[in-house]
Amino acid sequence: MNTCTTTNTNTATTMEISTMKENIHCPEDIISGKLITKQHRQEQHGRVAGGGGSRKPEIYQLEKIVEGTGFPCSKTKFRINKRTIQMHEIAHPMKHSNGFDYTENFDGMQKIGEKTVWINLKSVVGKGGNQTRTLRDECYPFVEAQLHYLFRTNHTNCFFANIFDGDEAAERMRQFNYLLNLPEFENVKKYVYVGDLKTYFDWVKTAI
């Protein structure tokens, strides 16, 4: 499925889009991801474990993305099939025998003019096995699938933003930089963002 060349419902003119991009800014209350510790996250969002509480950081990130960019960010059920390197809208992959072939779904999608930004959100704080598994077994393969998708499809209007907040996410950023800088991804890495929420807005203004 060619998900990055769908009909653009944003009716703003090119000049209006350019003006809106100039107004993109980082909201003042956003701090660097490396400063978000388990204690800080609990003070800001309360208990973050299971049920609705686990989505509080994500909801905050989505709200700030809309506030800082000025563009809507819609929910999505799209995922990448790691075996076929295709994107599909599928809400419950585990109902299918090939369910393990799919990444997690993108948390949001922004249309900025003719460009599409698929957004993946995480808040990983503190050290431990769960944190390592989240970054190694969920985030890393997802970013790699995005790079393979861009390499396979040669899209130039499709962007992926992986916004990873938290002190442990910041500590492990070097592993993601290693992946982005592999020679085979030299021509597509500019379409993929991996970093915290604070620096996302500068990336949008320069990359999109």
Per-residue model confidence (pLDDT) at position 55? 84
Per-residue model confidence (pLDDT) at position 12? 65
- CA 145, distance to chain mean position in Å, is 13
Residue in 116, 117, 202, 134 with CA at minimum distance from that of residue 172: 134
Per-residue model confidence (pLDDT) at position 51? 47
How many CB atoms sit inside 10 A of residue 196's CB? 22
End-to-end CA distance of the chain: 22
Per-residue model confidence (pLDDT) at position 128? 95
Residue 110 backbone phi and psi in degrees, to 5 = -115, 135
Tens of each residue's pLDDT in the chain, 208 residues: 556 754 444 556 777 777 888 899 999 999 999 999 999 998 888 877 654 456 889 999 999 999 999 999 999 999 999 999 999 999 999 999 999 999 999 999 999 989 999 999 999 999 999 999 999 999 999 999 999 999 999 999 999 999 999 999 999 999 999 999 999 999 999 999 999 999 999 999 999 8
Can you state the angle between helices 197-207 and 14-22, rounded to 10 degrees? 150
Per-residue model confidence (pLDDT) at position 7? 43
Report how far apart, in Å, the C-alpha atoms of 83 and of each of 41, 86, 149, 152 are: 36, 8, 11, 12
Per-residue model confidence (pLDDT) at position 48? 72
Task: Give the C-alpha separation, 40 to 93, whole Å.
Answer: 34
Residue 164 backbone phi and psi in degrees, to 5 = -115, 105
Per-residue model confidence (pLDDT) at position 50? 53
Task: Give the C-alpha separation, 33 to 61, whole Å.
Answer: 11
Residue in 208, 199, 160 with CA at minimum distance from that of residue 34: 199
Per-residue model confidence (pLDDT) at position 191? 98
